Structure 1
């Protein structure tokens, strides 16, 4: 495992230049990095993750100048978003110059998703390597995304060349993805940058919440395949159902994992109890703690079910509910179904 010392960053960059795969930190989740211009290196990422071949990859860059190597021109609206949100948790889909990137990166589409992360460590590594890197989350496909280097080690030990450890991530859910190639810019994946924030910069923005068909190539990650899910069933719980859900959980022969805010934990006298994971003091904290909690319970063989608090569908709650909804396959806990 590598640290953020200058020598280690030089080593990580050298690994990337040699076609190896290195996990890297961002403010959202840890990513799996390989030279985006090296097809054989990119194939190693797909192999390490067991990722479907038609799922395109985000291209992570160190600067806007690096994006300009691959596009004829950055659209004016996209430039406004770059000025407002980069470096940061926003991924922007644009058309790229044909032949500049392998179809394995783009899923064969004429578009590519670019991101310039807030992490200075990762920007430094990419700048040292002088090449953009692909950047899917550094987990086995379908499993909860990694928010610590230890999570990456759990999934990727022995499969990749190294992991850059920069501590726990700050945001905790993947970047917002916006498609700038549509008539009206369209959010394909909600994240820390909200629709309201985007519209304050460029005007009307659509939001697309659909699952891509079996024969369709998604423009962005998370639109087609099962994501973020532990091996046991996950159920979303709304605020009005917690009291009954906890009574049900306590009646089960096998332990049930409970993930909720400190307010819910205190109101239902769960503080200090085993099988309870705090999501903190609200939706911002919950975003940062969601994947870690799902991983915590996924590693406890005695847990048979996980109940997780859902928030209102507004602001950054949209990103949280999007990830939780996928982990739960859209399933809610209700007294009618369980009691």
Structure 2
């Protein structure tokens, strides 16, 4: 795994796109602070830039660097979560502008996955995480279900294919600065 983390880190440093296992499904990713890399993800997925993407951070400390004000309930929600949980926050900072939604929000998850954790800690910046499919197509449940179009057009494929079992996408919750909570996907 150490070798794959280094190779993937090198690709992210170059502004390249990656296909990698996450704590949910196989994802497409890149440096979440690099607008050009984020644009490549939208192009690869054939997705409108008006449809926001998720990014991953390593821990609460990293989350606090990229969100202006984290609602207090966040800590309780994350602690109580029994499956991967993505939270949409108001007023992200230091993130590529084309990753931030039109209403100035950003979906962020702290993954419970050794590879993702080690990679993000080494990279020291958030990484985009969006399902490895063309927009409008079903989310692949395993590496073998990922289309050849994705596999041939991504810059780097992480070589940990046997380590990933099929799982569901994360729960998505929106937390507004005013305290409003909304379940987007359960």
The normalised TM-score by structure 1 is 0.51
Residue of structure 1 equivalent to 2:85:
90
Q: 2:156 aligns with which of 137, 158, 162?
A: 162
User: What does residue 112 of structure 2 align with?
Assistant: 118
Give the distance between the partners of 1:49 and 1:30, measured in 2 at CA: 13
1:67 aligns with 2:28: no
Structure 1 residue ranges (4+ consecutive) displaced by more than 4 angstroms after TM superposition: 168-171
CA displacement, residues 298-336 of structure 1 (integer Å, 9 cap, x when unaligned): xxxxxxxxxxxxxxxxxxxxxxxxxxxxxxxxxxxxxxx
Distance 2:68 2:97 in 1: 18
Aligned to 1:172: 167
1:7 matched to 2:8? The reply is no
Report the Cα distance in structure 1 between the residues aligned to 2:81 and 2:162, rounded to whole angstroms.
23
Q: 1 CA distance for matches of 2:75 and 2:47?
A: 31
1:142 equivalent in alignment to 2:165: no
- Runs of at least 5 residues in structure 1 that lack an aligned partner in the other structure: 191-339
- Aligned partners of 1:23 and 1:177: how far apart in 2? 22
Match of 2:98 among 104, 108, 114: 104
Name the residue aligned to 1:28. Answer: 24
Unaligned runs of 5+ in 2: none
TM-score, structure 2 normalization: 0.89
Larger Rg: 1
Per the TM alignment, residue 102 of structure 1 is displaced from its structure 2 partner at its CA by 2.9
TM-superposed deviation, 1:65? 1.4
Which shows bigger deviation, 54-63 or 103-112? 103-112
Q: Which has the higher contact order (CA 8 A, sep 6+)?
A: 2
Cα pair 2:71 2:179 within 8 Å, conserved: no
What's the Cα RMSD here? 2.0
Distance in 2 of aligned mates of 1:154 and 1:122 = 23
Contact 1:152–1:163, Cα closer than 8 Å, also in 2: no
Taking the TM superposition and a 5 Å limit, the aligned residue runs for 1:327-338 are none
Mapped to 2, the partners of 1:95 and 1:81 lie a distance apart of 16
Q: Which has the higher strand share?
A: 2
- What does the per-residue CA deviation read over 1:41-62, in whole Å, with 9 as the maximum and x for residues that have no partner? 0000011110111100111111
Are 1:28 and 1:169, in contact at CA under 8 Å, matched by a contact in 2? no
Higher deviation after alignment, 61-70 or 149-158: 149-158
Q: 1:149 to 1:29 in 2, by over 3 A?
A: same
Equivalent pair of 2:85/2:170 in contact (CA under 8 Å): yes
**Cα distance in 1 between the residues matched to 2:92 and 2:52:** 16
